[in-house]
Chain A
């Protein structure tokens, strides 16, 4: 078994670190260039999609930890700790949300429309304030949960500095009482799950559904949080796979961990498809013009229909068929590309939902190199955030079942 050395490369400033920094800079430069170029709306569209995607991913990954704690699922082992590292993206996500305000004229097509009574809900100040508080509450509860959860995972033999010192102090204050902390985790975790459902529904309505202000779907909120959990789990599998491939069994991960979370990921591919389909079929069958135009434009008219097929194949058909195989689920080397495909699929799905409403030229799909570069920039930010967190808490990588019973 290879011993993990925290001084070792992955968490340190190696070539890989600088590549990630380069991604961030390229993404940032592309976005700035786009904003001051001839088509600022394209840059803002890419920004919004990436904000939704990466924030949802971080929120969904942390949800994994709370769910396995509340259901007392012992199988998760080191996966729960790894999933908590995504919380490092929370503050960044919050800042990204605030920056959305600068692009409001390019982001909300209903700004120039007469919305009549709908104005009570759909107006910029109220929208930003409620989403601001929503995210603040969600992230606040998320950190409240982590404050408890990390106490159980903290290795007292490590040097305690900064945030670690704070958590270590709490652990001492609580008199090393595991049961007390677990009970608090249950309360914070339960609140996080509730906030997750409500806030992600709100974000789904406000930042995706309302882009077509006269279209509604009651499942849209639930669809939004199921999607976030799905990609959150995908990102977690990728992170765990990276550590497993690098450190092998020393990471505490085994092939059965991958098999179990692979099965859950498989189940969520089905659930995502179910939520996608039940909205589609009800609207298609009802065939009321004010509802149907939304799906006609996105799933029947060219070129969007080809994007819709691509989304279905990437997010459901492909993972469903591949993950039927047990061996694939137990092999991290296969799981990385599958999860990556799903995440890209969900990126495209956001484009499918937002593109026709935001783009001034809805006949062709607004997708180009700049979208890819901005995506890379956000990927870089996420990678740095997660790495930063894991450097602060290296015990999450060198998992030992010490305190947790």
Chain B
């Protein structure tokens, strides 16, 4: 690693922004098609009504809420990597921090779309804002859904600002190396960065403060998301472990998503020197840790349901593993806790295809975890008379496809238009020898 020079770093990273090949635009077009399918499905739902989704009574929350929680979860590991690991001075996070933080911003944006979609009458969205109507009615501030609006919008603002602040010195490098319109755009975006001592001082303090503020924020945001469920008294939802369990699960899925993005990225852009095997290995080790926390939560929920001898809780958890959605439950347990444990073996976490494959499974597993919790909770509540099942409709699948395509669409545009590795932080890394001595 030490043989890298500042110039090589700039060159390799800026090379990734060269005009792309035709195949790139092909992929962009395919993803855009997916986005359009999602948009068309939503437009169809707006015209026909929310009834085109599979939500029913009792299962009023379906894939829209599952995807909402899934994408908020994906967002979380970006902040873990960029903020929490920055505070821990874990040097190995430097090469993947930019891409992870970008992932966070996009994932929060997509997550934020789902409450709009779920509203049905999306033009009524201003009801969620803290403004009184003409009859002086305010939103219900003691509703967890209202907490969510505030938490998610705060998170979006802070993570965008954090992302942009980190980007400033790199934008200035791009400004200096570009001409014409590009030069003008980057001149505007880099906010007059000249790299004076004073600017660097403010920058590094600002970055540190952002990291320090983002850390409790990220924990609070997913805690609030978990309270959308835990504050209600539905069996399977009302449990105190939810907040830390959701935070760990969010980071679990997010780290897996980071791997899914980084493994192709390092190959396509020749980033192997930056995103080394050691970096991927450290992410894999962190996945083992989060997988254990998630597994601990699964076991605890079952144990306490049995220990309490509360018949409703016991039935709820019996049904979770043996009822109609048992496949979802087994996918969740296998993919989230057992498969990631394979990363304990060094050989597996150093084999790239296995790393990629298991991370893919973790993301599938985490999606099903939300399915099991959200749908399972309301489908099998207190009163047997009100039990019911749910299946997503084509419109919902269309919107879900759209959301995944939108995420990759935004990300693929990002990697070709902005530096996907922070040149600043890579230079800091070799300056401090962080990768050699702290990894």
> Contact: B304 with A216, CB < 8 Å?
yes
Q: Say yes or no: is A105 at the interface (Cβ < 8 Å to chain B).
A: no
> Contact: B233 with A278, CB < 8 Å?
no
A261 to B: closest C-beta gap in Å: 13
> Contact: B239 with A218, CB < 8 Å?
yes
Most chain A CB within a 10 A radius of its CB, from B231, B233, B240, B438: B240
What residue of chain A has the Cβ atom nearest to residue B223's Cβ? A278
> Contact: A282 with B227, CB < 8 Å?
yes
Q: Say yes or no: is A222 at the interface (Cβ < 8 Å to chain B).
A: yes
Q: Say yes or no: is B276 at the interface (Cβ < 8 Å to chain A).
A: no
> Contact: B240 with A274, CB < 8 Å?
no
A230 to B: closest C-beta gap in Å: 15
Instruction: Give the chain A neighbours of B391 by CB distance below 8 A.
Output: none
Assembly CA distance A205 to B307 (angstroms): 10
Q: Say yes or no: is B296 at the interface (Cβ < 8 Å to chain A).
A: yes
Q: Say yes or no: is B427 at the interface (Cβ < 8 Å to chain A).
A: no
B239 to A: closest C-beta gap in Å: 5
Instruction: Give the chain B neighbours of A194 by CB distance below 8 A.
Output: 292
Assembly CA distance A75 to B90 (angstroms): 11
**Known contacts A116-B309, A285-B231; A219 and B296 CB within 8 A of each other:** no
Assembly CA distance A197 to B294 (angstroms): 13
A86 to B: closest C-beta gap in Å: 24
> Contact: A218 with B300, CB < 8 Å?
yes
Assembly CA distance A370 to B244 (angstroms): 38
Interface size, chain A (Cβ < 8 Å): 29
Interface string of B299-327 (1 = CB under 8 A from A): 01100100111000000000000000000
Within 8 A of B (CB), among A101-154: 116-118, 121
A223 to B: closest C-beta gap in Å: 9
B285 to A: closest C-beta gap in Å: 9
**Known contacts A121-B307, A216-B307; A222 and B241 CB within 8 A of each other:** yes
B204 to A: closest C-beta gap in Å: 16
Assembly CA distance A201 to B230 (angstroms): 21
> Contact: A222 with B296, CB < 8 Å?
yes
> Contact: B240 with A217, CB < 8 Å?
yes
> Contact: B227 with A118, CB < 8 Å?
no
Within 8 A of B (CB), among A64-113: 72, 74-75
Assembly CA distance A197 to B293 (angstroms): 10
**Known contacts A216-B307, A221-B300; A74 and B438 CB within 8 A of each other:** yes
B227 contact from A74, A279, A281, Cβ within 8 A: A281
> Contact: B238 with A282, CB < 8 Å?
yes
The prevalent SS among residues of A at the interface is helix
> Contact: B230 with A282, CB < 8 Å?
yes
Assembly CA distance A275 to B244 (angstroms): 8
Instruction: Give the chain B neighbours of A220 by CB distance below 8 A.
Output: 240
What residue of chain A has the Cβ atom nearest to residue B84's Cβ? A267
Q: Say yes or no: is B242 at the interface (Cβ < 8 Å to chain A).
A: yes
> Contact: B309 with A117, CB < 8 Å?
yes
Most chain A CB within a 10 A radius of its CB, from B241, B242, B437, B438: B241
Q: Say yes or no: is B46 at the interface (Cβ < 8 Å to chain A).
A: no
Instruction: Give the chain B neighbours of A281 by CB distance below 8 A.
Output: 227, 231
Assembly CA distance A197 to B244 (angstroms): 14
Interface string of B199-238 (1 = CB under 8 A from A): 0000000000000000010010001000100111100001
B143 to A: closest C-beta gap in Å: 11
Interface string of A208-235 (1 = CB under 8 A from B): 0000000011111110000000000000
Instruction: Give the chain A neighbours of B223 by CB distance below 8 A.
Output: 274, 278
Instruction: Give the chain A neighbours of B439 by CB distance below 8 A.
Output: 72
Assembly CA distance A361 to B296 (angstroms): 37
**Known contacts A270-B216, A286-B231, A286-B233; A118 and B307 CB within 8 A of each other:** yes
Instruction: Give the chain A neighbours of B333 by CB distance below 8 A.
Output: none
What residue of chain B has the Cβ atom nearest to residue A215's Cβ? B308
**Known contacts A74-B438, A222-B244, A278-B244; A216 and B219 CB within 8 A of each other:** no
Interface string of A266-290 (1 = CB under 8 A from B): 0000100011001101110110100
Assembly CA distance A197 to B241 (angstroms): 14
Instruction: Give the chain B neighbours of A288 by CB distance below 8 A.
Output: 233, 238
Instruction: Give the chain B neighbours of A274 by CB distance below 8 A.
Output: 219, 223, 243-244
Within 8 A of A (CB), among B416-439: 437-439
Assembly CA distance A116 to B292 (angstroms): 33
What residue of chain A has the Cβ atom nearest to residue B302's Cβ? A218
What residue of chain A has the Cβ atom nearest to residue B231's Cβ? A285
Instruction: Give the chain B neighbours of A282 by CB distance below 8 A.
Output: 227, 230-231, 238-240, 242-243
A217 to B: closest C-beta gap in Å: 5
What residue of chain B has the Cβ atom nearest to residue A290's Cβ? B310
Instruction: Give the chain A neighbours of B308 by CB distance below 8 A.
Output: 216
Assembly CA distance A101 to B230 (angstroms): 37
Interface string of B232-274 (1 = CB under 8 A from A): 1100001111111000000000000000000000000000000
A278 contact from B243, B296, B309, Cβ within 8 A: B243
> Contact: A219 with B231, CB < 8 Å?
no
Assembly CA distance A282 to B242 (angstroms): 9
Assembly CA distance A279 to B241 (angstroms): 7
A385 to B: closest C-beta gap in Å: 30
B257 to A: closest C-beta gap in Å: 23
Instruction: Give the chain B neighbours of A286 by CB distance below 8 A.
Output: 230-233, 238
Assembly CA distance A217 to B227 (angstroms): 15
Most chain A CB within a 10 A radius of its CB, from B219, B304, B438: B304
B241 contact from A121, A219, A270, Cβ within 8 A: A219
Assembly CA distance A201 to B242 (angstroms): 16
A316 to B: closest C-beta gap in Å: 13
> Contact: A218 with B301, CB < 8 Å?
yes
> Contact: B233 with A218, CB < 8 Å?
no
A360 to B: closest C-beta gap in Å: 26
Assembly CA distance A102 to B139 (angstroms): 57
B residues adjacent to A (C-beta < 8 A): 89, 216, 219, 223, 227, 230-233, 238-244, 292, 296-297, 300-301, 304, 307-309, 437-439
Additional pairs, 17, CB under 8 Å, beyond known A197-B296, A274-B219 = A74-B437, A216-B304, A216-B308, A218-B241, A218-B300, A218-B304, A219-B243, A220-B240, A270-B216, A274-B244, A278-B243, A281-B231, A282-B239, A282-B240, A282-B242, A285-B227, A286-B238
A-B contact pairs, 12 of them (CB 8 A): A72-B439, A74-B437, A197-B296, A216-B307, A217-B304, A218-B239, A219-B241, A219-B243, A222-B296, A274-B219, A274-B223, A274-B243
7 pairs of A and B residues whose beta carbons are closest in the complex: A218-B241, A278-B243, A219-B240, A285-B231, A279-B240, A219-B241, A217-B240
